[in-house]
Structure formats: structure tokens, C-alpha cells
Amino acid sequence: MRYHLAQANIALMKAGLNDPAMSSMAERIGEMNALAERSQGFVWRFQTAEEPEIYLRPFEDHFPPGEWDRIFFNMSVWETVEDLKHYVYRTTHLEMLNQKDHWIAHMDRPHLALWWIPAGQTPTIEAAKEKLDSIEARGATPEAFTFRSVFPPPSSRR
């Protein structure tokens, strides 16, 4: 069986995307999404027309009540860890990452989870929540990990 890498990250922005203080981030989200979609190994990314308070309901305990417009959520699927790392650290996405302190509030909880899914599957928001909670409770494991502690796909484990 082939596996792909699912990733989810969540953060509390310092203001809503419509706030002028967030304009330098908001203006580049489309560019970053397009870059991801053109990147080697990209498979899928989460998109929705729903309001955040609807689709992010599993994360109610992560953030202060009423802050839905400040939650940044991203979930995608990649063929390999190396493909995702290349996008994150070796493209213009790195510029955004290096400026995150301008836009993103510090979080004491895990904000990134990586996990393997069978090729062709689409991860769910509920799965993303479970993976982030798993990292918080147990640290990195083969079921949920981060770039600091990468685990191979299940088919590679012996």
C-alpha cells in the first residue's frame, strides 16, 4: 500500500484577516496556495466556503471563545515529507514563515501535525484535531509527528 503525508497547522492570528495589520499576510495567501498547488508532490489542500466557526468546531477548546475570525487553519496532502519540506523551507513560502511573528500569536499547544494516510484518502478536520491532541499528550509518535521527529510511512516500518 502507498501512503501520502497529511499535514495540518492551526494558529491564532494577532487580528482578523480583514484588519490592516494583517494585510501583508492576507495579500499573499492566494500566492502561497497557488505555489503549493504547483509544487512537486502536492496532492490536495483543504478548501471550504463555510464560516470558520462551523468547520473548525472541533477546535473550540484550542482558542478563546469568539475568536473564529482570528484562526488560521491549513491542511494538505503531499506525496512525501521531502516534498512538503521543500515547499515550506525552500520556496518563497519561507519568507512568510520568517515573518510569522508579525501575524501569529504564540501558542503553548502544538500547532503542526504530520501523519501518514493511504494514498487517495482525504484527511478530515476531526483527524487533524486528533493528531494535534496526540502530539500534545504523547509527543511525536508514528501516528502523529512533526518535522523535528519524522516517522516513515507504515509500509516502511519493520
Q: Where are the domains of the chain?
A: 3-156
End-to-end CA distance of the chain: 14
Q: Classify strands 112-118 and 42-45 as parallel, antiparallel or unpaired.
A: unpaired
Residue 113: Cβ-neighbour burial (10 angstroms; 0-12, 13-18, 19+) = buried
Quote the pLDDT of residue 155. Answer: 80
Instruction: State the cell numbers at 19.
Output: 484588519
Q: Classify strands 42-45 and 3-12 as parallel, antiparallel or unpaired.
A: unpaired
pTM of the predicted structure, to 2 decimals: 0.94
Strand partners, 147: none
Quote the pLDDT of residue 6. Answer: 98
Residue 84: which residues within 8 A CB-CB, separation 6 or more? 5, 7, 41, 76, 78, 114
Q: One digit per residue, pLDDT tens: the chain, 158 residues?
A: 899 999 999 999 999 999 999 999 999 999 999 999 999 999 999 998 888 888 898 998 888 888 888 999 999 999 999 999 999 999 999 999 999 999 999 988 999 999 999 999 999 999 999 999 999 999 999 999 999 999 999 986 65
Is domain 3-156 classified as CATH 3.30.70.100?
yes
Quote the pLDDT of residue 61. Answer: 86
- Cβ neighbours around 29 below 10 Å, total: 13
Quote the pLDDT of residue 64. Answer: 80
The sheet carrying 112-118 orders its strands as 42-45, 71-78, 3-12, 112-118
